[in-house]
Structures are given as C-alpha cells and as structure tokens.
C-alpha cells in the first residue's frame, strides 16, 4: 500500500482506540498507554474478519476506485483479491506470516516470497495513539448505522493545520460492538473529499479455515521465487550511483543547515531512476532524478499544483500529509524534491543543482 494510503489507515485505526471506553469525555482522563491497552483487548476478541473494501480517491477532477475482497485471520493471515480497476482485476495476494504469494493473471505468474522473521505482524498501537492525541482535536459527531451495524462517527482535525498540508480533517466510522473501522473519509484544506474507504458485507468470527490462506496455483502458471531483500534497492554512495546510471547525476550545492547526504538508490532494471536521501536528525529530504519521457503527460496526484519558478523554468509545488513536493524538468531530466521543508527552501535547493 502507498505511503498516503498507509497514513490514512493508521490514523483511522488509532481513532477507534479513542472511543474504546465508550465515553469521549473520559479520554482526557486516560493516558495514551491505557487507551492503547483497551484497544488491544478489544481486538483480541476478533478471531477472523471478512469484507469488501471500496476505496475512492479524487485527484485532479477524476475519481479512481479500487475494490477488493479481503479475508483476515489475526495475527498474520490475510487474503486480498482485487475486483477493480480493470488492470488489477483477478490479482490475488495471500500472506500467512512467513510467506507471501502474489498471483498476476495478466502475466499468468505467481510470485512466492519468504517474509523476514523480524517483520512485525501488528502495529504499535501505543505510539499511534500518543501521536493522534498530540496532533488532533477529536470529537464524537454522533451514532449512525452502516450495513446494519451501529457505529460511532468521529471527527479528527489537526491541531496545527500548517503541518498537514492539504490534509485538513478525517471522519471515521467505528463499529460499536467490536471497534473495527467500517468507513473513512479524508478531506483537504477546502473541505473537499479526497479519499473515501468503505467496508461492505462485513462478517466477524465466522470460523474462516486456514486453507483460505493457501494460494491454489492455476495449472500452467509460472511460479517465481523472490527474496524480500532483492526487492529493496541497494544503498550506494554518490560515486557508486553515478557508475550505475545512464545519465549525469546532479546534486545540490546548497542544503539547509543540519542536512547532509545519507545514501543513494538506483531504482529499476533499466537504471533510469535515482533517489538521493539527505537527513537532518529525524527529518528526511528526497531528491529523485530520471530521464524524461515525453510520451507521458504529467498530472499531479496531490491536488492543484502551485506554479513556481526554478532558474526561469516552471515547476509545480504541492503539499499533502505534511510532505511538500517540488517537481520540474530541465535538460531532458525530470526532478522531484520532497520533504518537510517550506516551499522557498525547496526552490533554493532546486536552483543549486549542479
């Protein structure tokens, strides 16, 4: 799942914890540790879960819908089968804690991948709750009915709006019986709905058998084994990255105080994309460079961009979920600069590339 979707899901899951006591007024009297413990206790009662997930995202005036059936058996068994969009229809992903299988019907291929032993099977509820209580004002909007289930409607608004870019508020529907999330809505700074997630045909504790989490490989299907480590790009020095690229790598001569180069990664088998990471303690700055593809039309996936000038060239500045991004093209290279720095600092860095 993408970082944006992951952040939406994490924020929504934590919101459920806030109402586990059944009384919003009690939240201020409880510690984050106590709220997290209550949530974990409720989640322990769920032995299995199935639903159809529908996620609709609105960007640039277009709506993108993803629909998938999902089956889950805590703590580490999951099965997802995509229904739409068309390019994903029929794709199946199955995990059982130690192995992940992915079936790609378009290429008639199954990829089998062993998962690292130290990969966590759950979330750190305590830390998530602490972050939520620190960063959001939470209110109970009421009690509603979704798919025959009684739910709490919760509204969360960031205390510091400027740190959240286009993301202004979240509405979450939480099942009153088992504290699972049945719906999520994310709104931008103009109160426009940008992402909506719904869980339909929900069923809990139905006795889902373990064989649901074994992928039946279609006859004649190619099986490819892949290592998790092989999927992760290798960290390189600037010199190593340059030797693996088909174009000249440009780096900034200016960086804000405290930032320094950390590592580079060359992405893709064609060796046409490089990502540079700069760090300042817990802050990261990412610079991505790739050969321009004139056949592709660039569209911002983070709302209407602001046009800015970079050494006389038009660039696009966008902001979402606390991440600011500057994109531009020069001399047949596409650039993307992302981080928590303000727009003017990103422009200063971009103009210093040599």
The structure tokens 């931008």 sit at 188
Residues 230, 243: Cα–Cα separation, whole Å: 20
Structure confidence by residue, pLDDT tens digits, 197-241: 898 888 889 999 999 998 989 888 999 988 766 667 789 999 999
In CATH, what is the architecture of 3-224? Clam (2.50)
Residue with the bigger pLDDT between 204 and 164: it is: 204
Residues 18, 38: Cα–Cα separation, whole Å: 9
Residues 215, 80: Cα–Cα separation, whole Å: 11
Structure confidence by residue, pLDDT tens digits, 273-328: 999 999 998 899 999 999 987 654 444 444 568 999 999 999 999 876 567 899 99
Residues 212, 323: Cα–Cα separation, whole Å: 39
When mean pLDDT is compared over 137-146, 232-241, 244-253, 295-304, the highest value belongs to: 244-253
> Quick one: pLDDT at residue 152?
78
Contacts of residue 229, defined as CB under 8 A and 6 or more positions apart, other chains included, come to 116
- How far CA 35 is from CA of 23, 31, 282, in Å, comes to 12, 6, 27
> Quick one: pLDDT at residue 320?
67
Q: Please give the angle made by the CA atoms of 234, 239 and 244, to the nearest 5 degrees.
A: 55
Confidence of residue 137 (pLDDT cuts 50, 70, 90): confident
pLDDT at 73 over 80: yes
Cis ω before 69 (30° cut-off from 0):
no
Classify burial at 66, counting beta carbons within 10 Å of its beta carbon; exposed 0-12, middle 13-18, buried 19 or more: middle
What fold is seen in the domain 233-351?
Phosphorylase Kinase; domain 1 (3.30.200)
Which of 275, 268, 263, 271 minimizes the C-alpha distance to 245? 271
**Residue ranges per structural domain of the chain:** 3-224, 233-351
b/e sequence 96-109, b meaning 16+ C-beta within 10 Å = beeebbbbbeeeee
Please compute the mean of the pLDDT values over residues 238-264 and round it to a whole number: 94
Residues 235, 333: Cα–Cα separation, whole Å: 22
Residues across the chain: 354
Which of 158, 163, 162, 165 minimizes the C-alpha distance to 319? 165
Alpha carbons within 13 angstroms on the beta-carbon side of residue 153 total 8
Alpha-carbon dihedral angle through residues 320, 321, 323, 326, given to the nearest 10 degrees: -10
b/e sequence 163-189, b meaning 16+ C-beta within 10 Å = ebbbbbbbbbbbbeebbbbbbbbbbbb
Contact by Cβ (8 Å): 228, 115? yes
Alpha-carbon dihedral angle through residues 233, 333, 261, 160, given to the nearest 10 degrees: -90
Contacts of residue 1, defined as CB under 8 A and 6 or more positions apart, other chains included, come to 9
Which of 192, 149, 157 minimizes the C-alpha distance to 173? 149
């Amino acid at each position: 799942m993408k970082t944006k979707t992951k952040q939406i899901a994490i924020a929504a899951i934590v919101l459920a914890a806030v109402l586990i006591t059944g009384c919003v007024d009690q939240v201020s009297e409880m510690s984050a540790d106590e709220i997290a413990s209550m949530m974990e206790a409720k989640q322990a009662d769920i032995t299995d879960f199935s639903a159809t997930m529908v996620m609709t995202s609105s960007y640039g005036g277009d709506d993108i819908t993803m629909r998938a059936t999902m089956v889950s058996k805590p703590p580490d068994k999951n099965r997802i089968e995509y229904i739409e969009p068309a390019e994903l229809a029929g794709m199946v992903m199955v995990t059982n804690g130690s192995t992940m299988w992915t079936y790609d019907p378009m290429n008639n291929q199954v990829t089998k991948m062993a998962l690292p032993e130290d990969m966590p099977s759950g979330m750190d509820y305590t830390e998530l709750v602490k972050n939520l209580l620190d960063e959001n004002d939470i209110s109970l909007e009421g009690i509603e009915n979704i798919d025959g289930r009684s739910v709490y409607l919760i509204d969360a608004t960031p205390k510091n709006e400027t740190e959240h870019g286009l993301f202004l508020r979240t509405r979450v529907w939480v099942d009153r019986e088992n504290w699972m999330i049945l719906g999520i809505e994310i709104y931008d700074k103009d109160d426009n709905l940008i992402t909506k997630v719904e869980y339909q045909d929900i069923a809990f504790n139905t006795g889902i058998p373990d064989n649901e989490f074994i992928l039946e490989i279609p006859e004649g299907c190619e099986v490819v084994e892949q290592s998790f480590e092989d999927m992760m790009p290798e960290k390189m020095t600037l010199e190593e990255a340059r030797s693996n690229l088909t174009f000249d790598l440009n780096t900034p001569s200016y960086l804000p105080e405290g930032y320094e180069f950390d590592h580079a990664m060359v992405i893709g088998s064609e060796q046409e994309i490089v990502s540079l990471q700069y760090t300042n303690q817990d802050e990261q700055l990412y610079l991505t460079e790739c050969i321009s593809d004139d056949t592709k039309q660039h569209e911002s996936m983070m709302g209407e961009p602001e046009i800015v000038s970079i050494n006389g060239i038009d660039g696009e500045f966008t902001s979402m979920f606390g991440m600011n991004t500057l994109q531009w093209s020069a001399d047949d290279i596409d650039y993307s600069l992302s981080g928590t720095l303000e727009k003017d600092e990103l422009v200063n860095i971009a103009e210093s590339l040599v």
